[in-house]
Amino acid sequence: MILIGAGQGLAFAPMTSAGLAGVATADAGAASGLINTFHQLGSALGLGILTSVAATAVPPGAAAQTALVDRFGAALTGGSVLLAVALLLAAGLIAAHPRRERPGQPGQPDRVRRSNRTVSRG
């Protein structure tokens, strides 16, 4: 439980920040609500899939202890597979996304936008 809590704490904040990057201020509330909705849907869907895997993983005629171990093993294997798929999907999306230039990088003049005019420094 500690690992799950730490993992969610370390993962959800950066995912939410990445999801809100580039969203207009007026749309930030709606975007945040949409992100949180999909966090909840993903958690519910993942739990449903793992529960289904665990429920069908009992060999016929198995003893109660053996059946319980088989169910946990199948659910953990299913969770690991889902995690690996998510990791590959995230890595593919990151690799396919073009990098944006950031102000203040070497060789790039800083530009600060104030009201209707652009001021160039450096």
From first to last of its 122 residues, what are the pLDDT tens digits of the chain? 677 778 777 887 888 888 888 888 899 899 989 988 988 898 898 888 888 887 777 767 777 777 778 888 888 888 888 888 888 888 888 788 777 665 555 555 555 555 555 555 55
Q: Report if residue 117 sits inside a domain.
A: no
Q: Report if residue 52 sits inside a domain.
A: yes
Q: Report if residue 111 sits inside a domain.
A: no
Q: Report if residue 10 sits inside a domain.
A: yes
Q: Report if residue 15 sits inside a domain.
A: yes
Structural domain span for residue 77: 2-97
Q: Report if residue 104 sits inside a domain.
A: no
Q: What is the DSSP string of 5-74?
A: HHHHHHHHHHHHHHHHTT--GGGHHHHHHHHHHHHHHHHHHHHHHHHHHHHT-PPTT--HHHHHHHHHHH
Q: Report if residue 121 sits inside a domain.
A: no
What's the whole-model pTM score?
0.54
DSSP 116: T
Total count of domains within the chain: 1
Q: Report if residue 122 sits inside a domain.
A: no
